[in-house]
């Protein structure tokens, strides 16, 4: 099957894969913009609202935040509630003064009275500043695209305002407003926990979720990357208007989830479909499911008999011996710009399916995480643009991609965690060229103070071929293979491993 020319604001490749004359500046600009976007959205979360509520330090739940320790993961999974001890409830652990909007005993008089609730006497607000400064190494394509080696431009990238807490022992909430170039409600959802059956078995979370839960771990469960699953927009590799990124936030919808027998967890979600700018919002067609199992270590909910409730060494709350395995499936739909319009975007509906798995192994202070997902897109490409007297032609070719990641971390001290991460993205075009991007990310996570973290990472890349958008930016990459042949082609060649960038990310929360 032959590729149709991709035409769009960011599309720079012709049918043969050659770069169009004069397209390089646009390519560089768009790639830099995309890279800036992905770099700027590197976020981290530790929520001082919870520290205030329970009058406890960050290290109760985190190592180098936002990385959660096993207790913190149990807290998150339980709907931001402390694991129960001896049949207790979350408010048993609550230490900050609460204003009762109705004493708990009003449950006895329901429905003749309002179901009781409570709010903290002080506003449950947390604030976090995040920023990062990249150094684009000499000779790198990152430097070529950015036009500089170093800039302070990202040091104050964003401010997060958190509001999180509990309305009752079963109803909790989490909200997050991010102030960057714009103000966004990034997360705002209610968590109705323990709806029926045993504790934690059936929970319903509704609103703007952090992300679809496709694994047993939180969105930010990585020391070196903002998210555990790579922020690779496969749709964005094929079509510059594609924004869908599997497993990333923030997603409007509802999720039914729970923990069964302390060692199994699941999530079933129905969330909004994605939409290219300028197109009408599609019906919510996206749905997903995940199941996970954990052997050894702290149980998923931090409850149960024996070792499930705690780590072996209280001085090392991150260290346990366990294996966690997850599988998931995702069906989605996206409205894309098919590129055939002259001015306005023209809709092309791309349905896609994804299958994936994840593995995490803890061996005391050593942690290994691996995962991968295959995405099958029905019609992600842009077609040919309309020209004078000639109608544009959509492209209905399908495409596939495989994204894989591995991360190895070792907690030397609770404030010092070196690690290395690899992200591999492979695109497979029907009847056309394939491409591969390999990113190696060595780094170190530091916690000079409990609420102040620094993460230093490098970015070493190698690429074979280029996506149809002409850039690996949607996979977080800078590098492109050398152009060879007559006419020059970007595909079929392989670049050497190149050190592209060093980045320092800082965060302060209070």
Partner 1 sequence: MSAHVSRTIGKITAAVAVAAAVASIPSTPQLAAAADSGGTIKGTVTAEPSKYLPDTVVFLKQVAGAYKARTVDMDQKGMKFIPRFLAVTSGDSVRFLNSDTVDHNVFSPDIDPYNLGMIKPGASSMHVFTKTGGYTQLCSIHPEMIAYVWVGQNPFSAVVDAQGNYSIKNVPAGTYTLSAWNPKLKTSDKSVTVKAGETTEIKVSIAR
Binding interface with partner 1 (CB under 8 A) = 85-88, 92-93, 95, 99-103, 105-106, 108-109, 113-114, 116
Measured from the CB atom, the residue of 15 and 108 that comes closer to partner 1 is 108
Q: Considering the complex, what minimum distance in angstroms separates the CB of residue 93 from partner 1?
A: 7
To partner 1, the closest distance from the beta carbon of 259 in angstroms equals 20
Residue 2 exposed, middle or buried by CB count within 10 Å (0-12, 13-18, 19+): exposed
User: Hey, how many other C-beta atoms are within 10 angstroms of the C-beta on 55?
Assistant: 10
Minimum CB distance to partner 1, residue 46 (Å): 25
Is residue 182 left, alpha or beta, with left meaning phi > 0 and alpha meaning psi from -120 to 50? beta
C-beta of 236: minimal distance to partner 1 in Å? 50
Nearer to partner 1, 103 or 149 (CB): 103
Q: Which is nearer to partner 1, 169 or 500 (CB)?
A: 169
Contact in structure between 240 and 469 (CB atoms under 8 Å): yes
Dihedral sign of CA atoms 346, 244, 233, 178 in order: positive
What's the Cα-to-Cα distance from 14 to each of 81, 433, 488, rounded to whole Å?
54, 13, 11
- CB nearer partner 1, residue 102 or residue 198: 102
Report the residue number, 97 or 138, with the smaller CB distance to partner 1.
Answer: 97
Distance from first CA to last CA of the chain, Å, rounded? Answer: 56
**Closest CB 109 distance from partner 1, rounded Å:** 5
In angstroms, give the least distance from the CB of 112 to partner 1.
Answer: 9
| CA–CA gap between residue 163 and residue 123 (Å, rounded) | 8
Decide whether 22 or 97 has the Cβ nearer to partner 1: 97
Count CB-CB contacts under 10 A for residue 261: 13
Q: How near is the Cβ of 202 to partner 1 at its closest, in Å?
A: 22
* Cα gap 100→224, rounded to integer Å: 41
- Dump the DSSP string for 320-383: EEEEEEEEEEEEEEEEEE-S--SSS--EEEEEEEEEEEEEEEEEETEEEEEEEEEEEESS----
For residue 108, the minimal CB distance to partner 1 (Å) is: 4
In the complex, least distance from residue 69 CB atom to partner 1, rounded to whole angstroms = 22
Beta carbon of residue 155, minimum distance to partner 1 (angstroms, whole number): 43
Q: Dihedral of CA 458/223/35/346: which sign? A: positive
Q: CB-wise, 118 or 250, nearer to partner 1?
A: 118
Of 16 and 93, CB closest to partner 1 = 93
199 versus 241: smaller Cβ distance to partner 1? 199
Contacts of 290 (CB under 8 A, 6+ apart): 213, 214, 215, 216, 266, 267, 326, 327, 328, 329
Q: In whole angstroms, how close is the CB of 121 to partner 1 at the nearest point?
A: 11
Q: What is the dihedral of CA 225, 229, 235, 236, to 10 degrees?
A: 0
Nearer to partner 1, 101 or 440 (CB): 101
C-beta closer to partner 1: residue 94 or 397: 94
Q: Shortest gap between Cβ of 191 and partner 1 (angstroms)?
A: 22
Q: Give the nearer residue to partner 1 in terms of CB position, either 84 or 469.
A: 84
Label residue 430 left, alpha or beta by phi (over 0 means left) and psi (-120 to 50 means alpha).
beta
Query: Can you tell me the distance from the alpha carbon of 383 to that of 385, in angstroms, rounded to the nearest whole number?
Result: 6
Q: How would you classify residue 286: left for phi > 0, otherwise alpha for psi between -120 and 50, otherwise beta?
A: beta
Detail the DSSP E strand segments found in 137-242. 158-166, 171-179, 183-192, 203-209
User: CB 81 → partner 1: shortest distance, Å?
Assistant: 14
Give the position of tokens 């509802």.
254
Strand 183-192, strand 203-209: pairing: antiparallel
- HSE of 488, CA atoms in CB hemisphere, 13 A: 10
Q: CA distances (Å), 381 to each of 122, 396, 403, 476, 477, in order?
A: 51, 7, 19, 20, 20
Query: What is the C-alpha separation between 326 and 265, in angstroms, rounded?
Result: 9
- Nearest to partner 1 of 85, 494 (CB atom): 85
């Amino acid at each position: 099957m032959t590729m149709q020319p991709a035409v769009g604001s960011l599309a720079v490749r012709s049918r043969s894969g050659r770069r169009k004359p004069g397209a390089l500046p646009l390519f560089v600009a768009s790639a830099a913009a995309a890279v800036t976007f992905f770099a700027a959205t590197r976020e981290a979360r530790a929520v001082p609202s919870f520290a205030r509520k329970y009058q406890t330090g960050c290290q109760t739940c985190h190592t180098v935040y936002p990385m959660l320790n096993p207790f913190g993961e149990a807290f998150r999974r339980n709907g931001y509630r402390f694991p129960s001890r001896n049949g207790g409830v979350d408010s048993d652990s609550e230490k900050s003064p609460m204003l009762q909007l109705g004493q708990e005993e009003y449950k006895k008089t329901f429905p003749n009275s309002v179901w009781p609730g409570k709010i903290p006497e002080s506003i449950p607000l947390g604030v976090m500043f995040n920023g990062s400064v990249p150094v684009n190494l000499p000779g790198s394509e990152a430097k070529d695209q950015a036009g500089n080696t170093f800039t302070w431009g990202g040091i104050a990238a964003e401010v997060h305002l958190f509001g999180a807490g509990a309305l009752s022992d079963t109803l909790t909430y989490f909200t997050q407003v991010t102030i960057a170039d714009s103000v966004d409600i990034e997360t705002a959802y209610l968590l109705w926990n323990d709806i029926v059956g045993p504790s934690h078995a059936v929970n319903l979370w509704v609103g703007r979720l952090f992300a679809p839960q496709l694994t047993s771990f939180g969105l930010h469960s990585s020391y070196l990357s903002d998210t555990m699953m790579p922020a690779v927009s496969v749709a964005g590799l094929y079509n510059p208007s594609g924004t869908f990124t599997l497993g990333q936030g923030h997603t409007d919808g509802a999720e039914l989830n729970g923990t069964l027998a302390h060692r199994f967890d699941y999530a079933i979600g129905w969330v909004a479909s994605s939409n290219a700018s300028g197109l009408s919002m599609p019906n919510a067609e996206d749905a997903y499911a995940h199941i996970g199992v954990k052997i050894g270590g702290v149980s998923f909910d931090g409850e149960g008999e024996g070792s499930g409730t705690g780590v072996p060494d209280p001085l090392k709350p991150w260290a346990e011996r366990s294996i966690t395995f997850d599988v998931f499936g995702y069906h989605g739909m996206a409205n894309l710009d098919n590129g055939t319009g002259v001015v306005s975007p023209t809709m092309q509906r791309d349905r896609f399916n994804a299958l994936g798995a994840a593995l995490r192994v803890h061996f005391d202070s050593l942690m290994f995480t691996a995962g991968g997902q295959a995405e099958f897109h029905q019609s992600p490409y842009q077609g040919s643009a309309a020209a004078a007297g000639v109608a544009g032609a959509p492209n209905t070719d399908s495409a596939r991609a495989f994204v894989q990641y591995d991360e190895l971390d070792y907690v030397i001290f609770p404030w010092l965690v070196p690690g290395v991460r690899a992200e591999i993205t492979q695109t497979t075009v029907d009847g056309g060229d394939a491409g591969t991007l390999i990113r190696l990310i060595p780094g170190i996570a530091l916690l000079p103070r409990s609420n102040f973290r620094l993460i230093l990472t490098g970015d070493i890349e190698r690429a074979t071929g280029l996506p149809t958008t002409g850039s690996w930016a949607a996979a977080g990459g800078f590098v492109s293979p050398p152009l060879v042949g007559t006419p020059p082609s970007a595909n079929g060649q392989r670049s050497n491993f190149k050190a592209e960038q060093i980045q320092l990310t800082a965060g302060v929360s209070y």
